[in-house]
């Protein structure tokens, strides 16, 4: 794997995103993550998994530079659908996955974290979906998962303003299971993973199979509509301006 590292400790698997400085979720990372998850599931040895980022961030978002290589709305829709499929696989995974979040989980990074079953964050971490500041929208099911955790009012606020919240607030609004001091993240993440791994594999597998039934029937429809809208919006002048402004590190000039 070029962009991921994998190690095991007892019956806990640890996947580390290694794409500095931002750990941006490129299509390569998503494909490697999908393959790694498939291999782990086939081996059937782990009782819990941890996903974390190397360096300053968990993941600061999708790979915006990659967006500039696409030409048609269908290309963007296909990208969104691929990311959605991988993240849905994570949510439906037979092994519990803990997102260990420090620095920032923004855009696609937060969408990845929300697909995980449990999230532990540092109090100083920044979590958000800032896509609207670029003239685009979340594309990896962010508009559908965020309301599930924080409620529709807070989700509207976070997505429409693009303003991230702290790890401490993420815990308060229900987006994170626990917020800890920066130097306690690894310790607390592994403590929780070990508590899970101490249980029988049969009971863990049963829980992982049953909880997803609570997902509403509307979710699949919402995710599909998000991918379609993601593709259409990327065909607008404002989206092109927003992405270009991001690349040039300047404020976008949206014209509507």
188 domain-assigned: no
Strands of the sheet with 126-128, listed across from one edge:
104-106, 126-128, 165-166
pLDDT greater than 90 at residue 243: no
pLDDT of 17-38, one tens digit each? 999 999 999 989 999 999 999 9
How far CA 131 is from CA of 12, 67, 106, 193, 239, in Å, comes to 33, 13, 9, 32, 10
- pLDDT at 2 (0 to 100): 86
CB 128 within 8 A of CB 110: yes
242 domain-assigned: no
155 domain-assigned: yes
Mean pLDDT (the chain) is: 94
Tell which residue, 141, 110, 160, has the closest CA to residue 229.
Answer: 141
pLDDT bracket for residue 217 (50, 70, 90): confident
- 54 burial class (0-12, 13-18, 19+ CB within 10 angstroms)? middle
Q: Which residue has the higher pLDDT, 120 or 237?
A: 120
Domain span at 153: 4-183
How far apart are the C-alpha atoms of 58 and 68, rounded to whole Å? Answer: 23
- pLDDT at 134 (0 to 100): 93
Domains: count for the chain: 1
- Please state, for a pLDDT cut of 70, what percent of the chain lies above it: 100
pLDDT greater than 80 at residue 216: no
134 domain-assigned: yes
Q: Cα torsion for 166, 167, 171, 172, to the nearest 10°?
A: -20
135 domain-assigned: yes
- DSSP structural state of residue 191: H
pLDDT greater than 90 at residue 180: yes
| Helix 152-161 with 142-150: angle, nearest 10 deg | 130
Partners of 48 in the beta sheet? 12
Active site residues: 111, 131
Sign of CA dihedral 24, 57, 97, 167: negative
Average pLDDT score over residue span 114-131: 98
Partners of 6 in the beta sheet? 15
116 domain-assigned: yes
Average pLDDT score over residue span 92-121: 97
pLDDT greater than 90 at residue 181: yes
pLDDT of 158-171, one tens digit each? 999 999 999 999 99
225 domain-assigned: no
The CATH number of the domain where 14 resides is what?
3.90.226.10
How far CA 54 is from CA of 60, 102, 103, in Å, comes to 12, 10, 10
7 φ/ψ sector (left φ>0, alpha ψ -120 to 50, else beta):
beta
pLDDT of 140-154, one tens digit each? 999 999 999 999 999
73 domain-assigned: yes
How far CA 181 is from CA of 16, 56, 185, 186, 187, in Å, comes to 20, 15, 7, 10, 10
User: Model-level pTM?
Assistant: 0.92
CB 52 within 8 A of CB 190: no
pLDDT greater than 80 at residue 116: yes
- pLDDT at 215 (0 to 100): 82
Tell which residue, 222, 236, 224, has the closest CA to residue 81.
Answer: 224
- DSSP structural state of residue 37: H
pLDDT greater than 90 at residue 122: yes
How far apart are the C-alpha atoms of 131 and 226, rounded to whole Å? Answer: 13
């Amino acid at each position: 794997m070029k962009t991921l590292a994998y190690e095991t400790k007892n019956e806990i698997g640890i996947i580390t995103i290694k794409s500095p400085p931002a750990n941006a979720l490129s299509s390569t990372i998503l494909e490697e993550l999908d393959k790694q998850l498939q291999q782990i599931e086939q081996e059937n040895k782990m009782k819990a998994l941890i996903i974390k980022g190397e360096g300053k961030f968990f993941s600061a978002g999708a790979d915006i530079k990659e967006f500039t290589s696409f030409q048609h709305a269908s290309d963007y829709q296909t990208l969104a659908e691929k990311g959605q499929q991988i993240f849905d696989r994570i949510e439906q995974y037979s092994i519990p996955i803990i997102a260990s979040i420090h620095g920032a989980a923004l855009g696609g990074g937060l969408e990845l974290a929300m697909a995980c079953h449990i999230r532990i964050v540092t109090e100083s971490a920044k979590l958000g979906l800032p896509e609207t500041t670029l003239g685009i929208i979340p594309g990896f099911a962010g508009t559908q998962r965020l309301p599930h955790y924080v409620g529709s009012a807070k989700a509207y606020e976070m997505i429409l303003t693009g303003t991230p919240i702290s790890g401490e607030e993420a815990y308060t609004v229900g987006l994170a299971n626990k917020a800890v001091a920066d130097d306690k993240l690894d310790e607390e993440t592994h403590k929780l993973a070990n508590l899970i791994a101490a249980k029988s594999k049969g009971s863990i597998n049963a829980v992982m199979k049953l909880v997803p039934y609570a997902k509403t029937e509307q979710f699949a429809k919402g995710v599909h509509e998000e991918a379609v809208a993601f593709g259409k919006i990327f065909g607008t002048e404002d989206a092109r301006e927003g992405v270009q402004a991001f690349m040039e590190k300047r404020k976008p000039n949206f014209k509507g």
